[in-house]
């Protein structure tokens, strides 16, 4: 399981941004922080305030904070690091390129399933008996993630 907190920045009834902090039960020393701020309100300090609030909401066992940033180029990432992450005390741990796909309007074909196998979908998490294997495969994928700018 996970311990999760969600923190929001509001102006009356308007959500300006939010932050989530998530700590896995099996790694209580590490908390993931995700911050999203409405583009019209970026650069005003809301992201920094939300980050600090998410850090404060994390479990006492946390000794390391981790965050991911997705931007179109390394130049934009560098600007984010200089203007946002470094002043908060964050340092770059890895530089990975992530491809995001918009599947909302896509019609995907039914998956091909080799004879003798079944495909299952699990909602709200991976069953406990499969978590170790999923973690191992995810670790292999993360280790092989490409490093570069995408066009």
Bridge partners (DSSP) of residue 3 are 23
Residue 61, pLDDT score? 92
Helix/strand/coil for 65: strand
Q: Which of residues 73 and 37 earns the better pLDDT score?
A: 37
Give this prediction's pTM: 0.57
Bin 123: left if φ > 0, else alpha if -120 < ψ < 50, else beta.
beta
Residue 29, pLDDT score? 92
Residue 68, pLDDT score? 75
Residue 145, pLDDT score? 53
Identify whether the C-beta of residue 20 lies closer than 8 Å to the C-beta of residue 57.
Answer: no
Render pLDDT for 110-123 as a digit per residue (tens, 0 to 9): 767 777 777 777 77
CA dist., res. 66 & res. 142, Å (int): 15
> What length is written for the chain?
151
- The DSSP element (H or E) to which 6 belongs, if any, is strand 2-11
Least confident among 4-13, 55-64, 116-125, 126-135: 116-125
Render pLDDT for 76-113 as a digit per residue (tens, 0 to 9): 888 888 888 888 888 877 666 555 566 666 676 776 77
């Amino acid at each position: 399981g996970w311990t999760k907190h969600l923190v929001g920045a509001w102006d009356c009834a308007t959500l300006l941004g939010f932050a989530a902090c998530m700590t896995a039960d099996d790694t209580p020393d590490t908390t993931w922080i995700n911050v999203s701020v409405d583009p019209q309100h970026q650069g005003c300090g809301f992201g920094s305030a939300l980050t600090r609030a998410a850090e404060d909401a994390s479990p006492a066992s946390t000794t390391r904070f981790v965050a991911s940033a997705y931007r179109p180029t390394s130049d934009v990432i560098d600007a984010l690091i200089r203007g946002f992450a470094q002043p908060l005390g964050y340092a770059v741990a890895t530089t990975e390129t992530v491809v995001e796909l918009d599947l909302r309007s896509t019609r995907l074909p039914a998956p091909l399933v080799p004879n003798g196998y079944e495909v299952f979908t699990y909602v709200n998490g991976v069953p406990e008996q499969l978590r170790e294997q999923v973690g191992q495969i995810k670790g292999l994928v993360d280790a092989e993630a490409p490093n570069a700018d995408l066009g």
